[in-house]
Structure 1
Amino acid sequence: MSTHENRLSRRALLGSVGGGVAALGVVGAATARGGDNSSTASGPLRYPFQGAHQAGIVTPAQDRLHFVAFDITTESRDDLVSLLMRWTSAAARMTQGQDATPAGALGGSPMLPPEDTGEALELEASGLTITFGFGPGLFRDATGKDRFGLAARQPEALQPLPHFPGDMLKPELTGGDLCIQACANNPQVAVHAVRNLVRIGMGTVAVRWSQLGFGRTSTTSTAQSTPRNLFGFKDGTANLKAEEKAATREHLWVGAGDDPRADWLAGGSYLVARRMSMVIETWDRQSLYDQEQIIGRTKGSGAPLSGGGEFTDFDFQAGGATPTIPVDSHVRVVHPDFHSGARMLRRGYNFVDGSTDLGHLNAGLFFIAYVRDPRTGFIPIQTAMSKNDAMMEYLKVNGSALFAVPPGVGPGQFVGHTLFS
């Protein structure tokens, strides 16, 4: 970014963001990248950045993920707002297959670093979505100090997640003041998006931790088939779906009256992130029978052990005194029937990060879930799972974070505008 751009006022930045976002209404502009392997019958797959809700939540889950959490390093509220404006402009461009800035990878001065890193040249948008979240540290620091005059607007539910039984959390994989979730059907497109947003944030934020993911482990649309996790089982069969409008209003989107001091979050949601390492080698030595008893479903079709097909309702009474679906099976422990009907929209991914120093696969599930209120939609379920779920013998949770995801943006707005206005 040039020295002149760094001196732009907040008003000028807001105006430039509005203009940049509005300009994206023209699909296939000259600055858009070409040549893609993900398309629809009507053309390349692109999701609009603007909308009532942020994209990347109910959007049909893409195949690849790059997630990053940040620490805020500035003490200036103006600098933070400026960053959110620049992030908004860049995200709006990249989700439409364009470079992060108008000058891009090739259009600036040859004597200066390019304004886009360039690894996505010739690649289309690939269904890229970029979703932003705010952590507890945006509002108060570790001592409770009001960092940016926002403490009075911190949502009551936005507190660090509790340390659940069995958690083996690593500080370098936990928490964060801000987060970005980039999902796409091309891994290089997702990495390009995060790389350029990180670059734009230099001097204002620093990366705390990040995670790459492949192979979605849930379905967020009825049009998608159910995928499998690294245990080999179908995952997310009963996940909340975008088409369930009444259910998403009840369980996913924050309501206007949910928290009077956090009215800015209405239309947004809460993002729960949990890094779950799988004890792959031990799991692989279990019999098929034992694996199915632990999960509560058949490994092939995904049907409940009580019978039927994948989408058949569970019969937890089948078997009488010796239940066909064991009381400590995963599906029973987390089922809405035992949690006042609570549901969540899961959006997790598999990961394999090489091997451990013991020669085991460093692999597992990067769990992401969106809920209307984590105090009722996630914490009780995770507590029960940590205490009673037979599957926890094969999972080691070493990362954990909670973020408030603000509502979407319209023309002339930036991510978080409802909070900072």
Structure 2
Amino acid sequence: MSPWQVSRRRLFGLAGAGAALAGAGAATGYGLSAAAGPGTGVIAFRGERQAGIVTPAQDRMHFVALDLTGTDRGAVGDLLRRWTLAAERMTAGLETADGDAVPANRYVAPADTGEALGLSAASLTLTFGVGPALFDKLGITDRRPAPLAELPRFQGDRLDPARSGGDLCIQACADDPQVAVHAVRNLVREGFGVTEVRWSQLGFGRTASTSTAQATPRNLFGFKDGTNNLKAEEPELLDEHVWVGAEGPDWLRGGTYLVARRIRMHIETWDRSNLDEQQQIIGRDKGEGAPLTGTGEFDPADLSATGPDGPVIADDSHVRLASAQENGGVRLLRRGYNFVDGSDGRGHLDAGLFFVAFVRDPQSRFVPMQRTLARSDALSEYLEHTGSAVFAVPPGLADGDDHWGRALLA
């Protein structure tokens, strides 16, 4: 029998993975094949890179930032080991631990909270990162890389401390929101006594494509978002712009940095703007998503083109100011999501973009771009940045007993 025995979740109808996965599991010896891919609903947890970065972006996300409640490095290391075991099981469509999800003894708390029983793995990925303050708390400041520093305050920021920062982060992405929420809920539960939630964010409707097989999605302003995003099928560009190289410490080489920004969009004001104004602000047409100098979505934007009134793509347009041409060739791998968090009590929706980007160096690459956008982007009139965080995301895990944070805390 495999160390990962058939779970009650499978017995309750894990139809998404199906009998084919059970057969694949027999070949690998621990439940589900590491080679399982598109069409199975299972994405390999271990590998050279953490899943959830260049993985084709799923439809839903639950992101959580946590703080350490103590300074015991051993306790943190033990938690990360337990988190890894639970994460690997959940991404395979299993409960967080072996045993009955509904115990026979009704006076025993179930090991798994149970809301994902009967659901497939839904392409769940779990991505782990560490924040700047963790190194001070654990007395390992000599291991903190220079780029891992809190982001500066940008012009117009209205950051809520309760929605910013964090010692650790977990990004759960899936094609079923309940699967993503279940994963975060159970990891948070496992961390009781060692970590506590600082903030979290639910997202829907991805706002970027991370694979050439995906169509470009739209944000809540109704425009296609992330047309020129880096893709999984561009390994050389990923090496240049996303993955940390020899400049990073041993524990981070092959990993990356995650930048998170909660951006409230004043959609009611935007919705009263006429179409021409909206398109001039963005620099693209709203229907096809083409730059104002082209006819197709993927036509290159001609930033030098001029018309009777000046540049065809305005100097303060979002497309121009966010372009690689205007930022020294810098590019980011975007992986954001839309959000609607109720209303603000004044008749306006608290809605917007939860911006997530992966980048090789946030200080030299993201910060200059964001400073330019905050200062000059016409779109800024309709945006309000309310949360901010940065995390270092280590590389993937090797087979065996390798676990999150092992190389960092060794």
User: For residue 227 of structure 2, what is the aligned residue in structure 1?
Assistant: 237
Asked if 1:51 is matched to 2:41, the reply is no
On the 8 A contact 2:9/2:119 being kept in 1, the answer is no
Asked if 1:80 is matched to 2:80, the reply is no
Q: 2:67 aligns with which of 60, 67, 71?
A: 71
* Cα distance in 1, alignment partners of residues 265 and 50 from structure 2: 31
Matched ranges for 1:342-381 at <5 A: 342-381=330-369
Letter in 2 for 1:417: R
Matched ranges for 1:86-235 at <5 A: 86-107=82-103, 109-140=105-136, 147-235=137-225
User: For residue 314 of structure 1, what is the aligned residue in structure 2?
Assistant: 301
Q: 1:248 aligns with which of 230, 238, 244?
A: 238
C-alpha deviation, 1:357, in angstroms: 1.4
Bigger CA drift: 102-111 or 35-44? 35-44
Letter in 1 for 2:178: Q
C-alpha deviation, 1:103, in angstroms: 2.2
- Structure 1 length as normaliser, TM-score? 0.89
C-alpha deviation, 1:106, in angstroms: 1.9
Pair 104,176 (structure 1): closer, same or farther in 2 beyond 3 Å = farther
* Cα distance in 1, alignment partners of residues 138 and 37 from structure 2: 47
User: For residue 144 of structure 1, what is the aligned residue in structure 2?
Assistant: none
On the 8 A contact 1:172/1:209 being kept in 2, the answer is yes
C-alpha deviation, 1:35, in angstroms: 3.7
C-alpha deviation, 1:181, in angstroms: 0.3
* Cα distance in 2, alignment partners of residues 392 and 405 from structure 1: 29
Give deviations 1:88-140, integer Å, cap 9, x for gaps.
Answer: 00000000000011125224743210010000000010000000010001111
User: For residue 300 of structure 1, what is the aligned residue in structure 2?
Assistant: 287
On the 8 A contact 1:108/1:115 being kept in 2, the answer is no
Pair 333,23 (structure 1): closer, same or farther in 2 beyond 3 Å = farther
Stretches of structure 1 lacking an aligned partner (at least 5 in a row) = 1-21, 141-146
Letter in 1 for 2:201: Q
Name the SS for the 2:280 alignment partner: helix
Name the SS for the 1:82 alignment partner: helix
Give deviations 1:347-405, integer Å, cap 9, x for gaps.
Answer: 00000011111110010000000001112221111110000100010000000000000
Letter in 2 for 1:380: P
Matched ranges for 1:7-46 at <5 A: 23=3, 29-30=6-7, 33=10, 34-35=13-14, 44-46=40-42
* Cα distance in 1, alignment partners of residues 189 and 131 from structure 2: 20
* Cα distance in 1, alignment partners of residues 291 and 345 from structure 2: 38
Aligned residues: 389
Name the SS for the 1:139 alignment partner: helix
* Cα distance in 1, alignment partners of residues 281 and 153 from structure 2: 24
Give deviations 1:179-234, integer Å, cap 9, x for gaps.
Answer: 00000000000000000000000000000000000000000000000000000000
Asked if 1:415 is matched to 2:393, the reply is no
Name the SS for the 1:303 alignment partner: coil
Name the SS for the 1:291 alignment partner: helix
Pair 31,346 (structure 1): closer, same or farther in 2 beyond 3 Å = same
On the 8 A contact 1:304/1:313 being kept in 2, the answer is yes
Pair 389,357 (structure 1): closer, same or farther in 2 beyond 3 Å = same
On the 8 A contact 1:38/1:185 being kept in 2, the answer is no
* Cα distance in 1, alignment partners of residues 282 and 199 from structure 2: 30
On the 8 A contact 1:385/1:392 being kept in 2, the answer is yes
Pair 398,36 (structure 1): closer, same or farther in 2 beyond 3 Å = farther
State the identity %: 56
Give deviations 1:253-275, integer Å, cap 9, x for gaps.
Answer: 101x213xx22100110000000
User: For residue 376 of structure 2, what is the aligned residue in structure 1?
Assistant: 388
User: For residue 272 of structure 2, what is the aligned residue in structure 1?
Assistant: 285
Letter in 2 for 1:53: R
Stretches of structure 2 lacking an aligned partner (at least 5 in a row) = 19-35
Letter in 2 for 1:344: L
Name the SS for the 1:265 alignment partner: coil
Once superposed, what is the RMSD of the aligned Cα atoms? Answer: 1.9
Letter in 2 for 1:245: P
* Cα distance in 2, alignment partners of residues 248 and 313 from structure 1: 20
C-alpha deviation, 1:38, in angstroms: 8.7
